[in-house]
Structure 1
Amino acid sequence: MNWHGAPDASPSARIAALLPSLQRGERRVADAIVADRAGIVERTAQELADAVGIGRTTVIRAAQSLGYEGYPQLRVALAQELATEHAQVEEGDGTMVGAVRAGVGRFAAKLANTVSALTEEDVLEFITLLDRSQRVLVIANGLSGALGMDLVLRLTAAGRPAEMLPDAMAQQIAARQLGAGSLCVIISGSGANRATLEGMRAASEGGAQVVAITSFARSAVADAADVALVVPPVNDSFQDELIHTSRAAIMLLIEQLVEQFVTYRGERGREAQAAALSVLGSGILE
């Protein structure tokens, strides 16, 4: 699978989204880039091929899979990425607070990458389906479960009632009964949660449209969805994502998608927000 996101997306963002889908030799190229971006800028395609033990054509093919015309264009993009990285990441000062600051700094430095794989067509399709569907079922499990509940609450406050069930079997039953004209929203960072995939399959069999929000462009969830909104992980590799899992980028995207949904609905969206604010206001004590 090749890159189909924003043309100005950084090489790091492209690798984060596509790494699990690359061929074995291409993954070795991508791993080498992640390990030493500055060093790769100084290497020719043949030098890189020799360093990782593959053929020169595999290096070129990897660059093309990442969305570049060839390896020279990838080297230029890497040089630009290194030159324009504006966030200075703190190394920490040995304290817990320092470690927290360093972690936040690393996330902030890669924040722009988290939306680089989105396309106008896919976002508009998702917003349109939200607006027109008779029912909206959200399926999310594991670490993505809290994000699913957050989406349900935000959509409900925006005048688009949605539902989510915590039990995996109940998810499948509800998904299978959705039918045509309904929407199933899948949230799965890894794109490989078994319970989520079963619920997704049930929704498709029932005739519902399926939209996936996930971290990897080529995963079981992304492949099976009618629309896939890919949010590249903030970690440098698939292994890092498994060990140091973060859902912060997806959470941020969900907030912004609901904001766009309210704007898309115009007066209906504003009225729903006003009603929600009225309820919230009455529940706050001085």
Structure 2
Amino acid sequence: MVWEGSADAPLTARIVALAPSMHPGERRVADAIAADLASAVERTAQELADHVGVGRATVVRTAQRLGYDGYPQLRVAVARELSLDAAGDAADGTMLGALRAAFDRFASHVGHTVSALTEEGLQAFVGALDGASRVLIVANGLSSPLGLDLMLRLTAAGRPAELLNDTIAQRIAARQLGEGSVCVAVSGSGANQETLAVLEAARAGGSGTLAITSFARSPVTRLADAALVVPPAGDSFRDELLHTSRAALMLVIESVVDALLDRRGDRGRDARDAVLQELGAAIRE
């Protein structure tokens, strides 16, 4: 039996209704999710399968039986239920209190933003950007502003980059990049289907692939020749869904472009001087 009730029904209600009719392996998966939602939202399908002692396919079938397209959609449903506990982050109940709490929360995790980066990974990433004949940036959903920021910063650094908003156009451009070019994906979740499709098109066309994401075991890292993993402020998939903060990614993007400028030596300094001249001409009293 598959869930046929309301699409708005919470996950736990679906589990209660369908668990008795599930196969033993699916029942174990459902029970494990219901018993610890906070852990379930952080686990990938394979991690949950290993925890329960079943195959990954069983986890996927359980998600589909519960009325979701797949396990990623089930994780979102778990986060939705957990979001009910997120109210009241501000200790004093005021808007200013909430703002201060958010800043304190981010500040306490700033050091984590570079904890997953390595010198080797940064050298490979920046080197690929510097040596590419063409650079195509792809960023969709809530990561779109980051893609625009990266494109503008690279262009200002004398490393022109392309950015397209239409997802079909992104795939067409990626497929035609060819050898010597790079496609750079910016994806907080690392699981945006449109972005993954563009990276696959780039690889099919012979282009190099780079990624900036928040999760080391996300699908986008498996498609990238080099990836910069920047953990979210809360270090959790749940926080990525609920708060969708891109502040940490923004900081790393700015620093990566600065590293590119340094690597380019005189070319970088000339590009920076040209930017300052244009900015000076644009400012009026």
Deviations 1:29-73 (A, max 9, x none): xxxxxxxxxxxxxxxxxxxxxxxxxxxxxxxxxxxxxxxxxxxxx
Return the offset for 1:21.
7.7
Distance, in Å, in 2 between the alignment partners of 1:262 and 1:238 is 33
Which structure 2 residues correspond to residues 1-286 of structure 1 after superposition, within 5 A? 20=44, 23-24=47-48, 92-286=91-285
SS at match of 2:96: helix
Distance, in Å, in 2 between the alignment partners of 1:217 and 1:185 is 16
Instruction: Report if aligned partners of 1:92, 1:101 keep a CA contact under 8 Å in 2.
Output: no
Instruction: Return the structure number with greater relative CO, CA threshold 8 A, min gap 6.
Output: 1
TM-score after normalising by structure 1: 0.69
Deviations 1:248-268 (A, max 9, x none): 110110000000110111111
TM-score after normalising by structure 2: 0.70
Return the offset for 1:94.
2.6
Letter in 1 for 2:122: V
SS at match of 1:279: helix
Instruction: Report if aligned partners of 2:211, 2:221 keep a CA contact under 8 Å in 1.
Output: yes
Instruction: Report if aligned partners of 2:232, 2:239 keep a CA contact under 8 Å in 1.
Output: no
Judging changes above 3 Å, is the alpha-carbon distance between structure 1 residues 21 and 130 closer, same or farther for their aligned structure 2 residues?
A: farther
Give the aligned partner of residue 50 of structure 1. Answer: none
CA RMSD of aligned residues (A): 2.0
- Gapped regions of structure 1 (runs ≥ 5): 1-14, 29-89
Instruction: Report if aligned partners of 1:19, 1:27 keep a CA contact under 8 Å in 2.
Output: no
Return the offset for 1:273.
0.3
Instruction: Report if aligned partners of 1:191, 1:216 keep a CA contact under 8 Å in 2.
Output: yes
Give the aligned partner of residue 71 of structure 1. Answer: none
After TM superposition, the runs of 4+ consecutive aligned structure 1 residues lying more than 2 A away are: 18-28, 90-94
Return the offset for 1:19.
5.3
Deviations 1:187-224 (A, max 9, x none): 00111111101111111111111001011101110111
Return the offset for 1:143.
0.5
Deviations 1:216-244 (A, max 9, x none): 10111011111111011112421232122
Identity of aligned residues (%): 56
Distance, in Å, in 2 between the alignment partners of 1:116 and 1:142 is 25
